[in-house]
Amino acid sequence: MPVHGRPSFTGVFHTSPDGYLFCEDLQVKTVQDEFAKASEYGSPFFMYSKRQIGDNVRSYVEALQRHDLPYILGYAVKANNNLTILRILRDLGCTAVLVSGNELKLAMLAGFSTDKLVFNGNGKTQWEIELAVTHDVMINADSLFDIDHISSVARQLGKKVKMLLRMNPDIDPEVHRYLATGSAVSKFGIPETDLDTALGKAGSDDNIDLVGLHCHIGSTITNIDVFRATVSAMLRYNNHVQGRGFRLKYLNVGGGLGINYRKYIQVCMCIPSGGELIDSIADKIKESGLCLILEPGRSIIASAGILVSKVIGIKRNETRSFLVIDGSMTEVMRPCLYGAYHHIQLIEPTSGTRRYSVVGPVCECGDYLAEDIELPIPHEGCGLAIRDAGAYCASMSSNYNMRVRTI
């Protein structure tokens, strides 16, 4: 049975020979101590590695350039909307992909140029569409009514909007059902049976410039064949669209690539990198002559972040030992929301090991970070890190129980 907190001595997040976790050159425990001195709200906090963000982006970019593909790499802001992170990604050449008007405002504040931004959403409201159209943002239309709403705003503003049709290809991404967005039962996208109606609306509208097709079939996808199947379906739609006389520019295949959250304890689970994903679809994209749009979130930012927390106390009942920490479901909601796994490790040396359920102080039985895992034995006040917390943690955080929201 592997010990949960087994350290890694190499990489951006690495453990020193004397047992302290480092993020790049910073000892995490020192940062935790400094924060604690500065504020009574100094724990828990998120800590990110700029170097890891760069490595994750380069994995995509190097493959895209190697295959000589025209592309737009649009980071999905919903994964983590930290302004500093957005600016780092902008400097690395990414654009941004948005799911709300407020995300669009933030992307503008971060300095992204708006004509390469992409706006998604199955229930866009009037003001959000107005903001996107005003700033020439590309819009993925999610339904027939969405096309009507976007068209009506563009007409009122006297603008021509660049529109992509978000298709629902009914493909099983082999993930938790909450994360499957391209299957027939999902609320997202236009079914193939409505494609002709959608083309009829977009084609006859002087305020719409139909520039592409889009799909995003899910998140945490680990099977590369799923992406190839998606691209094949999209190219089949593109042939149909061409047959109707449209000449599209973009093929947007969304995001969705998973990461190996269990890599610390299960080394042989092979999950493709961004570069390997590109390698697997490059031939088909090249043949189409279309510009590829990608919308990755998790695969860019998850591995670059940790939640740094502290042990409040340890309690035992007849069946379990509970490690009660100051981090909780209000910072890392994924375990409670979809039974997701996050690796947990101590950030400082201790001796011995024992099995614990790691729980937070929130008044909910669902408030757990890990169930019955083996950890080095911590002391009260001991620091620990919840790994791979860069995506869908800070951006999903709340102040439930009137906790201070950690972002």
Q: How far is the CB of 297 from ligand PLP (least distance, A)?
A: 3
Instruction: State the number of binding residues for ligand PLP (CB under 6 A).
Output: 17
Q: Could you give the angle at which helices 50-66 and 83-91 cross, rounded to 10 degrees?
A: 30
d(CA 295, CA 257): 10
Q: Is 393 a catalytic residue?
A: no
If the CB atoms of residues 76 and 202 are measured against ligand PLP, the closer one turns out to be: 76
Q: Which of 268, 270, 363, 365 is catalytic?
A: 363
Question: Cβ neighbours of residue 149 under 8 Å, at least 6 residues apart?
Answer: 124, 126, 129
305 three-class SS: strand
Q: How far is the CB of 55 from ligand PLP (least distance, A)?
A: 16
Determine the interface stretch with ligand PLP among 15-23, 231-239, 249-257, 355-363 (rule: CB under 6 A): 249-257
Candidate list 28, 85, 97, 202; residue touching ligand PLP; CB under 6 A: 97
Determine the interface stretch with ligand PLP among 13-21, 105-113, 289-297, 335-343 (rule: CB under 6 A): 289-297
CA distances from 245 to 142, 196, 197, 249 (A): 22, 12, 14, 13
Candidate list 101, 296, 360, 383; residue touching ligand PLP; CB under 6 A: 296
297 touching ligand PLP, by CB under 6 A: yes
Q: Which of 386, 305, 379 is nearest to 348 (CA)?
A: 379
Q: How far is the CB of 23 from ligand PLP (least distance, A)?
A: 22
274 touching ligand PLP, by CB under 6 A: no
- Cα 350 to chain centroid distance, Å, stands at 33
d(CA 171, CA 134): 34
Tokens of 133: 């159209």
Residue span 21-40 as binding mask against ligand PLP, x where in contact by CB under 6 A, dash where not: --------------------
For β-strands 344-346 and 138-141, DSSP reports them as unpaired
49 touching ligand PLP, by CB under 6 A: no
**Which residues on adjacent β-strands are paired with residue 325?**
311
What part of residues 56-85 is at the interface with ligand PLP (CB under 6 A)? 76, 78-79
What part of residues 200-229 is at the interface with ligand PLP (CB under 6 A)? 216, 219
Tokens of 401: 């129980």
Residue corresponding to tokens 């697997």 = 280
Determine the interface stretch with ligand PLP among 17-25, 126-134, 153-161, 248-256 (rule: CB under 6 A): 248-256
Q: How far is the CB of 71 from ligand PLP (least distance, A)?
A: 15
- How many residues does this entry show for the chain? 407
Q: How far is the CB of 15 from ligand PLP (least distance, A)?
A: 28
Candidate list 256, 305, 327, 360; residue touching ligand PLP; CB under 6 A: 256
d(CA 364, CA 404): 17
Residue span 112-131 as binding mask against ligand PLP, x where in contact by CB under 6 A, dash where not: --------x-----------
If the CB atoms of residues 98 and 208 are measured against ligand PLP, the closer one turns out to be: 98
Neighbours of 100 (CB within 10 A): 18
CA distances from 317 to 43, 177, 245, 367 (A): 27, 34, 69, 17
DSSP-assigned letter for residue 389: -
Provide the annotated active-site residues: 363
User: Where do contacts with ligand PLP occur on this chain (CB under 6 A)?
Assistant: 76, 78-79, 97, 120, 216, 219, 254-257, 295-299, 391
